[in-house]
Amino acid sequence: MLALVILYFIWFYRERPRFGSSLAAVLGSVLLGGFFVATATSARYGGLLVDPATAALMPNKDTMFGLPLNGVVFGVAWFLLLVGTMVAKGEARASG
């Protein structure tokens, strides 16, 4: 549902592309930021990033570079979100 809201701001605020892409980046970062906050505080509530029951079945025990795989994937997603935002802002600046 949040992805639809983000697409709305990108598509329907074409006359203000910096606003649409900035708001989309903020909403996406809030979503990904929630995961990072949950990860950082997982020791306080006993949360786990790797399911012990299935980790043995996965290649590399569900880790990449020694980090939990879903943490790496969310980190890459956030990095790509930031890069896309910078590209969109650069295009908006160049066009108007």
Instruction: Give the integer Cα–Cα distance in Å for 70 and 64.
Output: 9
pLDDT in tens, 23-75: 888 888 888 898 889 888 888 888 777 777 776 777 777 777 877 778 888 89
**Tokens representing residue 47 in the block:** 């949360």
Q: Give Cα 92 to chain centroid, integer Å.
A: 22
Which of 57, 38, 58, 56 minimizes the C-alpha distance to 48?
Answer: 38
Close Cβ partners of 7 (under 8 Å, ≥ 6 residues apart):
24
Q: 9 vs 79, which has greater pLDDT?
A: 79
Mean pLDDT check: name the lowest of 8-12, 16-20, 66-70, 91-95: 91-95
pTM tops 0.75: no
According to the model, what pLDDT value does residue 79 have? 92
According to the model, what pLDDT value does residue 76 have? 92
Segments in the chain forming alpha helices (H): 2-12, 17-40, 42-45, 52-55, 69-95
